[in-house]
Amino acid sequence: MKELNPFILHSAIDIVEDVQWKSNALYLKVVDNFYGFLVSAFVTPGNIKFLLLHESKNEESIRQFFSDLNDLYVKTLLNPFYKVNDPISSPLFDLKVKGFAKKYL
């Protein structure tokens, strides 16, 4: 089933773009459901979309995960060596995201 994950998330982007204009919240909660897998979304003030495919129904821990991820993303944007819209290839960024996932998910 893992091979379907990118397709599930890509199909949820259209839903996120519809929902984001109906809410002032950054955390959009669960926006889609696919055979028991939930897609939650977070949209930054710069219109960057974070999507999470998960089975957990603990909204508070998912909201906290996205909040910490957004803080880390903003810190990355403030790095003078990072060029906006370039892929984030930092091993430290990856390690911290995995740490957030272990902590909250």
Number of structural domains (the chain) is: 1
Q: What is the pLDDT of residue 2?
A: 82
66: which 2 tokens? Answer: 């996205």
Nearest alpha carbon to residue 56 among 69, 68, 66: 66
The three-class DSSP label of residue 87 is: coil
Q: What is the pLDDT of residue 57?
A: 82
Q: What is the pLDDT of residue 47?
A: 92
CATH of the domain at 76: 3.30.450.70
Residue matched to tokens 């974070």:
50
What residue ranges of the chain have pLDDT lower than 70?
Answer: 1
Domain that holds residue 23: 3-104
